[in-house]
Amino acid sequence: MLRNEMTKCLKIAYPIIQAPMAGGVTTSKLVAETSNAGGLGMIGAGYMAPTQIRDQIKEIQKLTSKPFGINLFVPQPFDVSEDSMKAANQALTTIRQQLHLPDKDNFGIADYNEVLEAFKEQIQVVIEEQVPICSFTFGIPSQEVIAELKQHNITLMGTATTVMEAVQNEAAGMDMVVVQGSEAGGHRGGFLNQEQESSDSVGLMSLLPQVTDAITIPVVAAGGIMDGRGLAASMCLGAQGVQMGTAFLTCVESGAHPVHKEAVLSISEDQTVYTRSFSGKWARGVKNHFILEMQNHEVYLPDFPVQNTLTQDIRKAASAENNPDFMSLWSGQSTRLAKSQTVEALIENMVAEAKKLNVNI
């Protein structure tokens, strides 16, 4: 069975990965409980400072002896143009007024070199703390970084949203690749064709077999998978396992804001949309007031991570006020399947359901 390549390589019982959602969702408890239940817990460390990362790794190591992983954002060159920042900030001023927030004009925007430096520091922590698995989104790290991580026996997972991105991940030496369908919540993890319209994004049912035909490393399916049916279907399509975000986001152990969990649990499947208004990068979330208000400005907003920094005060204030209208409520399209449950129940039920469907787990 090819499937065993993935679980064997990751040293886990079940081919189920908890997606490394950034922004505080992946608490130490969520990560550790997933690994303890036989899956792979992952720290969403994209936005985290090196010391934060180190502290969380140590905390998780106290909660589990099983392997867990970490995800980092690969920096991509971006523009910090005064003009686009000013235009975006003008649109955001209207939003700030609605939240009674003061105007802002100094954001302490980092430039590309600073972001690159921070990424290198994150990598060093991963190596020093001996995290066994490291995954990447938004790009493929340099050959130097890949070689260094491999020297330390760290298993590497890339992210792809197209066949071409999967091929490039394999060519760069990734051990496996997460293939993200259009159903997925949160940021699109791809890196080629950033200008793509949302209707270019390929659904998982279509993308998976096309990717598995094109590469030989194990493929992990992501996007809209919530239960044993999705796991079984993914394996029929050639994947060796799944990575799930939304299914873990509403778990009791997740650090998602209660208002965020509530929103995901209450909407129908067609109430999420792509937006780049929160961060400058396309991401799927619950359609809310902020997204609708920013829709007409979307084309000229600055790139990630500039726009993300610009909207920080807004998202923070909205969270503090439990106001879902201005929060980034990332969610995949399978909202009707989301449940408030423990990680253990989620994984146990999934495995039982997949086995019933004749899938060899």
Distance between CA atoms of 252 and 104, rounded to whole angstroms? 36
Q: In the window 209-268, what residues touch a second copy (CB under 8 A)?
A: 209-210, 213-214, 223-227, 229-230, 232-234, 236-238, 268
Residues 147-166 vs a second copy: string with x where CB under 8 A? ---------------xxx--
Size of the site for a second copy (CB under 8 A): 52
Q: Three-state SS across the chain?
A: CCHHHHHHHHCCCCCEEECCCCCCCCCHHHHHHHHHCCCEEEEECCCCCHHHHHHHHHHHHHHCCCCEEEEEECCCCCCCCHHHHHHHHHHHHHHHHHCCCCCCCCCCCCCHHHHHHHHHHHHHHHHHCCCCEEEEECCCCCHHHHHHHHHCCCEEEEEECCHHHHHHHHHHCCCEEEEECCCCCEECCCCCCCCCCHHHCCCHHHHHHHHHHHCCCCEEEECCCCCHHHHHHHHHCCCCEEEECHHHHCCCCCCCCHHHHHHHHHCCCCCEEEECCCCCCCEEEECCHHHHHHHHHHHHCCCCCHHHHHCHHHHHHHHHCCCHHHCCCECCCCHHHCCCCCHHHHHHHHHHHHHHCCCCC
Among 32, 134, 149, 207, binds a second copy (CB under 8 A): 207
Regarding 349 and contact with a second copy (CB under 8 A), the answer is no
Query: Which letter, b or e, does each residue of 345-359 get, where b requires 16 or more Cβ atoms within 10 Å of its Cβ?
Result: ebbeebbebbeeeeb
Q: Which is nearer to a second copy, 158 or 181 (CB)?
A: 181
Tell me the window of 20-28, 66-74, 115-123, 271-279 that interacts with a second copy (CB under 8 A).
271-279
Is 130 or 198 the residue whose CB approaches a second copy more closely?
198
The nearer residue to a second copy, 153 or 199, going by C-beta atoms, is 199
284 binds a second copy (CB under 8 A): yes
Compute the least distance from the CB of residue 70 to a second copy, in Å. 26
Minimum Å gap between C-beta 252 and a second copy is 22
- The residue among 155 and 234 lying less far from a second copy, judged by its C-beta, is 234
Options 273, 312, 349, 355; binder of a second copy; rule CB under 8 A: 273
- Tell me how far apart the alpha carbons of residues 61 and 128 are, in angstroms, rounded to a whole number: 14
Q: Does 310 help bind a second copy (rule: CB under 8 A)?
A: no
Q: Which of 195, 197, 216, 299 binds a second copy (CB under 8 A)?
A: 197
Question: Is 141 or 223 the residue whose CB approaches a second copy more closely?
Answer: 223
Q: Can you read off the two tokens belonging to residue 359?
A: 């899938």
Question: Closer to a second copy at the Cβ: 115 or 167?
Answer: 167
> Of 4, 49, 144, 203, which lies in the binding site for a second copy, with binding defined by CB under 8 A?
203
Q: Which is nearer to a second copy, 196 or 341 (CB)?
A: 196
Contacting residue, 182, 243, 277, 279, with a second copy by CB under 8 A? 182
Q: How far is the CB of 211 from a second copy (least distance, A)?
A: 9
| Binding residues for a second copy (CB under 8 A) | 162-164, 181-183, 193, 196-207, 209-210, 213-214, 223-227, 229-230, 232-234, 236-238, 268-274, 284, 332-334, 336-337, 357-359
